Structure 1
Amino acid sequence: MAQVQIFIKKVLWKDDFLFPAAIWLISRIFIWAVMLLVAPHLPQPPQGIVPSFGWGVFDAWDSVRYRSIVTSGYEFINNGQQYNIAFFPLFPLIIRGLMNFGLPFAVAGVLVNNLAFLATLYCLYFWVQEQLGTNEARWAIAVVVWCPLSLFGTVIYTEGLYLYLSTAALYAFDRKQYGWVAFWGSLATATRPTGMALIPAFLIAAWKEKRSSTAYLAACASAIGLLLFSLYCAINFADPIAFIHAQRGWRPSFGFDWRGWLNMLLELAAGTSDWQNIQLKNLLHLLLFGVIVASGCILWGKRKQLSNTKIVYCFYAVVTFLLILADRQFINNLLNVTMVLGGGYFLWHLRKRLTPVTTCYGFCGIALLLASGGTISLSRLAYGIVPLNLALGIRLVGYPRLGLLILGLFSVLLARLAIGFAQNLWVG
């Protein structure tokens, strides 16, 4: 047994090539098992379904939009309704290419997203290892694969593809490979709206580092994917920014949605944003939330002494139990706040250790999300901004026990989100 453990440690956890693949495979098996084996045996939730075993568990919500693009093309009328032109074209184009070889939509979509997510881990691993070291690289991809939002690197969404393209573009910029910056950047801007944050990030980083004019040209060239999509919209719908106008179906107005943020924070703390109808359960929720936050702050302050106290594990057990029992709205709000505000905090805290383009892209991405005019899907969109995950992973390098506790909590939330998605419930 000891020899087997030594072999696993050397091969899976020490080898630069096998580590990303091993952690990807373990985490994806975990998600697949939860969605395909656990969810079908749970009671039917209100407004949800009992999923059946098959590819259908990966095909829901935004996946339906991509299916409509692949099978029927884009649709748009500028009347404030939800149209699929809001979804960028590269992901459905690749799926359509695979379907031409006989693959069904669900199989092609799952294959593209999962393989792209695996490629992301390799790209991120070698990028961080080159900049900061091997331990930082391992923790960075551990956070990426076990983050609850990594569910969307498995189902038929664009997270895996966009993470790969944006990470490859950032990596190429740090290596001064400007041809690849333009190539990967243009593909990223053809995949997700948040790809637009890459353009100012490249320009600002090029200015800060006094790069050559080629860096500025590559930054501008990364907008090619966005410009081609805009040209398509102009030709087919006489509206070059139809993809922006279509966002009104989800976000009626642009700008910082302070009311939405206020309601989200109130619901997270007290379980309701309606203070006129406050109930006893809301007061208990507020008290419990305060205890958890205060305990978490105390534990963070004493993180260096975690190995010397048993109370940490009691706290961890209580929080895990509460996360299992918490309702979906609480989980969604918790993830929104944690990903945006928490990610921004760690990014600022580590700004001197990260490369300029990494920091610039992270903050440009957050600014774009805050100016989007809503709070819907904030956690998922923030997860697609790789510096936010990277910053947390690097921060945990010096506190491995705390890091393992956080990854354990992540796995609990990941299982909850996977079950919810399989049951056709909104989870981000």
Structure 2
Amino acid sequence: MRLSASRTLALVILAAVLVCAAAAGAGAWRFHHKNPQAPVVRLDEYVVMGWVGWDSSWYMRIARDGYQYVPGEQSSVAFFPLYPLAIRAVEQLGPDVYQAGVLVTLLCGPLALLLFARWARIRVEDETTALHAGLLLALYPFTFFLYGVMYSDALFLLLVVGAFLLLEKGHLVPAVLLGAVATAARPVAPAVVLGLLARRLEWKRERGERWSVLDFLPVLSALGFVLYVLYLGERFDAPFAFVDAQVGWGQTPGWESWLKLYWFKAVFSPESNAETVLRLCLHALLTLGALALLWPTFRRLGWGYGVFCAVLVGIPALSTKDFMGMGRYLISAFPLFLTLALLLRDHPRVRHGLLAAGAVGLVLFSAAFGLDHYVS
């Protein structure tokens, strides 16, 4: 019996979660045992250890101790509050802070992928293409961040996909509410606000209906962002402290970052090792690929999703000094994966090749993250 598209995608996601968890756990075991004095750790703890690294420590500190801010230095205010709040809520049920973070991601990530497939089905009215889009996103190498990593990407994606899905169904107020919650999770409020607003106006025009004042409600989806800015102003007298904190990571705004001079210096420096060069080149190529998909997204999915992706990709692409992190940020630009599926309708070999390469990348990146390599 042929499996339905939704069941097929669910099985692929389940397999990806299990395989990636095993790879990350194995990487954590290897990293842990590099130290001959390493204490004995239960086998199940390696899975959590495999999904906790790098920025996870910042979320842990926020969940436990709240925010701190030192001007011009790395500070926890750089990370928006929704994910740490979710961790704190789950922690009250019994898990420790790291287990709670992994559980939040594990609950949100797979659900976000399933909602994405439902959204894609509504947009293109083609179950097969929607399945292909779901597979392209589920097997995108950096999607392992949705399968348990203690990062906020899974929660943000769930909320923003849910918001656009509700918008497509005509549920404006719930869509705006989800959008407002989403803007408290990541510093990309302009993308969410403009995307929801443009899509709502476009949605009304497609139905031959006139715009009304209510159609501009998506502007209120900036509320989560605004509340965080107000909190920072009240607590630290620095409403945009999250921008200033980026200086601590070497992300100084200016023409050197805009022209990616840091990237060129790092890639062509004789002191850079092969891993660093490969990592920087991969993120740069993925960024260029995403930018290349923007115009097809405008044409095939409409101005609402085109604006959303253009702003969502454009903000980090412009502000990052060396493209690092772009591979992960592109997960949130979910309409691009549907655009890619549409473009590959008549190119099954290319699609199969991308899926195979993505599956291999998922496993390798999961293991690398568990080994404490800087992946994204």
Normalising by structure 1, we get a TM-score of 0.77
Q: Indicate the residue corresponding to 1:287 in structure 2.
A: none
Alignment of 1:178-197 (within 5 A): 178-197=172-191
Q: 2:128 aligns with which of 128, 132, 135?
A: 135
Q: Indicate the residue corresponding to 1:230 in structure 2.
A: 229
Contact 2:280/2:324 (8 A) holds in 1: no
Contact 1:202/1:357 (8 A) holds in 2: yes
Q: Indicate the residue corresponding to 2:208 in structure 1.
A: none
Q: Is 1:29 aligned with 2:18? A: yes
SS in 2 for 1:76: coil
What amino acid is aligned across from residue 377 of structure 1 in structure 2? G
Task: For 2:40 and 2:300, locate their aligned partners in 1 and report how far apart those are by CA, in whole Å.
Answer: 45
Alignment of 1:322-333 (within 5 A): 327-333=274-280
Offset of residue 206 of structure 1: 4.5
What amino acid is aligned across from residue 102 of structure 1 in structure 2? G
Contact 2:116/2:161 (8 A) holds in 1: yes
Q: Indicate the residue corresponding to 2:59 in structure 1.
A: 66
- Deviations along 1:181-227, one digit per CA (max 9) or x if unpaired, are 2111011100011243111223344455654322212x211011111
Contact 1:254/1:371 (8 A) holds in 2: no
Q: Is 1:347 aligned with 2:341? A: no
Q: Indicate the residue corresponding to 1:423 in structure 2.
A: 371
What amino acid is aligned across from residue 427 of structure 1 in structure 2? V
Contact 2:258/2:318 (8 A) holds in 1: no
Q: Indicate the residue corresponding to 2:355 in structure 1.
A: 407
Offset of residue 387 of structure 1: 2.1
Offset of residue 233 of structure 1: 1.1
SS in 2 for 1:193: coil
Offset of residue 334 of structure 1: 3.6
SS in 1 for 2:301: coil
Task: For 2:39 and 2:129, locate their aligned partners in 1 and report how far apart those are by CA, in whole Å.
Answer: 41
- Deviations along 1:349-389, one digit per CA (max 9) or x if unpaired, are 24322133211101111221233242331221122221233
Q: Name the CA shift for 1:255/1:165 in 2 (closer, same or farther; >3 Å).
A: farther
Q: Indicate the residue corresponding to 1:81 in structure 2.
A: 73
Q: Is 1:214 aligned with 2:203? A: no
Task: For 2:113 and 2:281, locate their aligned partners in 1 and report how far apart those are by CA, in whole Å.
Answer: 25
Offset of residue 42 of structure 1: 8.0
Contact 2:156/2:185 (8 A) holds in 1: yes
Alignment of 1:46-61 (within 5 A): 53=43, 54=45, 55-61=48-54
Offset of residue 331 of structure 1: 3.8
Q: 1:117 aligns with which of 93, 109, 112?
A: 109
Contact 1:346/1:395 (8 A) holds in 2: no
Q: Indicate the residue corresponding to 1:148 in structure 2.
A: 141
Give the gaps of 5 or more residues in structure 1: 1-6, 283-325
- Deviations along 1:296-346, one digit per CA (max 9) or x if unpaired, are xxxxxxxxxxxxxxxxxxxxxxxxxxxxxx943244224312332102212
Task: For 2:31 and 2:57, locate their aligned partners in 1 and report how far apart those are by CA, in whole Å.
Answer: 24
What amino acid is aligned across from residue 89 of structure 1 in structure 2? P
Q: Indicate the residue corresponding to 2:268 in structure 1.
A: 273
Offset of residue 34 of structure 1: 1.1
Contact 1:139/1:396 (8 A) holds in 2: no
Offset of residue 44 of structure 1: 7.8
Offset of residue 39 of structure 1: 5.8
Give the gaps of 5 or more residues in structure 2: 206-210
Q: Indicate the residue corresponding to 1:385 in structure 2.
A: 333
Taking every aligned residue pair, what percent have the same amino acid on both sides? 24
Task: For 2:350 and 2:319, locate their aligned partners in 1 and report how far apart those are by CA, in whole Å.
Answer: 34
Q: Indicate the residue corresponding to 1:261 in structure 2.
A: 260
Q: Indicate the residue corresponding to 2:98 in structure 1.
A: 106
